Amino acid sequence: MSEPGRRSARPQRGLSIVELMVGMVIALIISLAAAGSARTFSASQRQGISGGGATANLTTTMAAIKDDAASAGLGFFGTRNSNNQSLFSCHKLDLSYDTTVHFDADVFSPAQITSDGTNDQIDLVFASSIDGGADVLLSGTAGAGTAMTQSRLQVATGQLVMLVPGTAAASSQPCLVRSVTAVAAATDDTPQTLTFGNAGANGIYNRAAFTNTPAYNETDKDRITLLGMLSWRRYRLDGTTLLFEQPLTGTSATLLRNVMSFRVQYGIASTATGNDLSWQDATGSWSAVSGTEADRIRALRFGVVVRSAQPERPASGQACEASAEKPKDPLNPDVEVEPDVANWDCFRYRSATVVVPLRNFVW
């Protein structure tokens, strides 16, 4: 029998130097493979985030433009013809902010597209008041300083109004935007009286002088409409950056980068009373829309092309395959858009279009 507590005489051994070296080599190979996979995954992840971010930003931008476009024209329609159809109020406009004149009896439309031949700019103007377009007749004479109404206008100090001469529809006289600095209620003997002073914050729209300020002395023709507040939104490309600007206040913000194309078209009817629709670029007679053309506008169509911020890395010794061909004009698939980079095929491109019915243009 063996002695109690006697240890086994079986020899003990560890790893040999050969086994240790083999294990280290295997671990190194696995580490290198993992590092390569991590780099590949990181590159794919960056490219995916870049492409997905471009798509998400494009979607958000189109939604913002759509909201502003849908509001265009509020406050600038309301006069009705013998067929009870709403007509555009003003063919020309007098509009200033502080001492800067923005319109001096200039042709005006609440939706105005300007084209440089490749890309477009869109200006959208609209009022804030739900009473916009509900005009009332003026009483007696009116002008840049005061106005009296034949019936009560739901207006308060600090709000904007627009004086509409009876000849505005004939394109001969401009409408005039004024900010109200005082309101005198109507009495049994006097009409409601509005004052347009030029002092203080409320008088900021009343400080500039115009070449042509109508006299507003046509009885039962001259009118006044409540605007509330006025918004003027501009969308345009600066290089490859889509900007959102507010010309009245001079402020701007970047909406979208890496924009290859920004296009806008009018959806027009053949006549002011027609319901047919065709798409029109801002060229020829449509390069400067006046009141007669505005009566035919039914919708706007927007198209934007963006590219990813990061290029995709090609396989070793091979050409890029992210894009097989250059992007197309979003509103004209027969026209190529020229990218802003030489290695354009290493980037991915996203295109979006949206059609916006102009609810304030169609009554």
End-to-end alpha carbon distance in the chain: 114
- H/E stretch holding 52 reads helix 17-71
Overall average pLDDT of the 166-176 stretch: 75
**Tokens 């590219």 map to which residue?**
307
Q: Across residues 22-35, what is the average pLDDT?
A: 71
Backbone angles phi, psi at 89, to 5 degrees: -75, -40
The per-residue pLDDT for range 276-333, each reduced to its tens digit, is: 899 999 999 899 887 778 888 999 999 999 999 889 888 777 888 889 999 999 999 9
Element (H, E) at 68: helix 17-71
pTM: 0.82
For residues 77 and 66, is the Cβ–Cβ distance under 8 A? Answer: no
